Structure 1
Amino acid sequence: MKPTLLAVAHGTRSAAGRRQIRDLVAKVARRRPDLDVRLAYADVQRPHVKEVVAGVRDAVVVPLLLSAGYHVRVDIADAVAGTGIPVTATLGPDDVLVESLAHHLPAADAVVLAAAGSSDPAWRQSIHEMAAGLGAYVAYASGSDPKVADVVADLRRRGARRIAIAAYLLADGLFYRTLHRAGADSVTPPLCLGPAAAALVLRRYESAILTTADRLL
């Protein structure tokens, strides 16, 4: 029997965001009815990843996150410590997510790639690389500068009439909702709503299975 696919989301107080993450995990389960697919959370919601890990023997943790920040390095790492359960790479950055963003972008004079802020230089570099692929300006929905609203306002001053925000956020929540108040003309939907996300979860899972098998040879 294959290991349980344990998808671990951040957790949100947004009812829409909670539903979107549940729907994403349900899509994964429908694609692979042979797998035991479960959902846990690193923060805000229950069951916490540590609680679910305690009840499974053999599993692969797939973080439903776009960067390997605190929740991966601390919460998830603590939950699997001493269990031998592997943790895959996060969903982002990945080219398929950039393609998903590009697919949903309308015609615009300027595009702003909006991500959650981070002080991690490697993460920020990956955001700039994705923005370059989209021909977009970089801005952050939280923490780091420049903020999305400031970049949009600056583009307006420079003559941009139609501005689109490419939302590099997985689900609805506080950060995503701020994008709709940033003064742009359009905002792409959360990434978990597209077909690329479910396929990417399974790709991360299968990659971990192959890596584990190679180590046993």
Structure 2
Amino acid sequence: MVAVSHGTNDPAGQRAVSALVAQVRRVADVQVHQAFVDVQEPRVGSLLHGLPEGNQSSVLVPLLISRGVHVDQDLTEAAVLRPATRVAAALGPHKLLAQVIEHRLVQAGWLPGEPVILAGAGTRLGQGTQDCHQAAALLAERLGVPVSVAFVAAAEPALGQAVATARDAAPQRRVVVASYLLAPGYFQSLIERCGAELVSGPLLAADEQVPRELVNLVLERFTAACE
């Protein structure tokens, strides 16, 4: 398994993602390598080139929440560099992610009955936007409240506008934003500055225990790609 994340300059984000990979490595019954599509090293292409020659196949497991350029293009192109390399599905949408988001919301102070805006990074690809809307539907089913979608970049509606619209629609109610990001970093800092009364943390928190749901989901995506 090659666990491939985006990469970040944020030390907290680096620790959080590395902790997830380390936990997957502890419970997986295969070799687990860590690679990145941007910012950090090793890049996924370089790592694939450096693996020993042999008959063993590799599976690239995106530690990325939605489909987008990195999953649909970058990882697909990297997989061609080594025979018998497959690309697993992105982590989301999935009910296990909804469970972790609910935990983060409660941790931040969300109260049952409060509507939620699910804030994603954004992507130019329509499939990724569709994934976020499906994730919102799963979260709404779990929370029993309306969940809308907004984005920090590259897609509409913009998070700031979504927050303003929600406040105009119900001035007496807190605006609650759920982060739909994997780990701390630049995009999380933008979400935290969106103007909402309550913003939850990303799925992974630095220096906290890795949610078992995320470990199970990575293993599930790997197993499905092997079938």
Normalised by the shorter chain, which TM-score bucket? 0.7 to 0.9
Give the distance between the partners of 2:181 and 2:154, measured in 1 at CA. Answer: 14
- Contact residue 119 and residue 150 of structure 2 kept, 8 A: yes
CA distance in 2 between counterparts of 1:66 and 1:89 reads 9
Contact in 2 for aligned 1:7/1:63 (Cα 8 Å): yes
Cα 1:157/1:118, change in 2 over 3 Å: same
CA positional deviation for 1:20: 0.8
Identify the residue that residue 109 of structure 1 maps to in structure 2: 114
Distance in structure 2 (CA, Å) of the matches to 1:137 and 1:88 = 27
Say which of 149, 156, 160 aligns to 1:149: 160
* Correspondence 1:181 to 2:200: no
Q: How does 1:37-116 map onto structure 2 within 5 Å? A: 37-56=32-51, 57=54, 58=56, 59-81=58-80, 82-105=82-105, 106-107=110-111, 109-116=114-121
CA RMSD of aligned residues (A): 1.8
Task: Sort the Cα spacing of 1:102 and 1:44 in 2 relative to 1 into closer, same or farther, 3 A.
Answer: same
1:199 is displaced (CA, Å) by: 1.1
Q: TM-score, normalised by structure 1?
A: 0.86
For residue 181 of structure 1, what is the amino acid of its counterpart? R
Q: Tell me the TM-score normalised to structure 2 length.
A: 0.83
Give yes or no for contact 1:171–1:191 (8 Å, CA) kept in 2: yes
Q: Distance in 2 between matches of 1:129 and 1:91?
A: 13
**Contact 2:92-2:131 at 8 Å conserved across structures:** no
**Distance in structure 2 (CA, Å) of the matches to 1:160 and 1:45:** 44
> Which segments of structure 1 move beyond 3 Å, counting only runs of 4 or more?
none
Sequence identity of aligned pairs in percent?
37
* Structure 2: runs of 5 or more not aligned: 141-145, 206-210
Query: Counterpart of 2:204 in 1: which secondary structure?
Result: helix
In the alignment of these two chains, the number of paired residues is: 205
1-structure distance, mates of 2:7, 2:177: 23
Instruction: Name the SS for the 2:85 alignment partner.
Output: coil
Q: Gaps spanning 5+ residues in structure 1: where?
A: 212-217
Q: Which residue of 2 aligns with 1:27?
A: 23
User: What are the superposed Cα offsets for residues 164-202 of structure 1, whole Å, 9 maximum, x if unpaired?
Assistant: 211111111111111111111222221134321111111
State the one-letter code of the partner of 1:86.
R
Q: Distance in 2 between matches of 1:78 and 1:125?
A: 23
Comparing 175-184 with 114-123, greater Cα deviation is found at 114-123
- Corresponding position: 1:169 with 2:181: yes
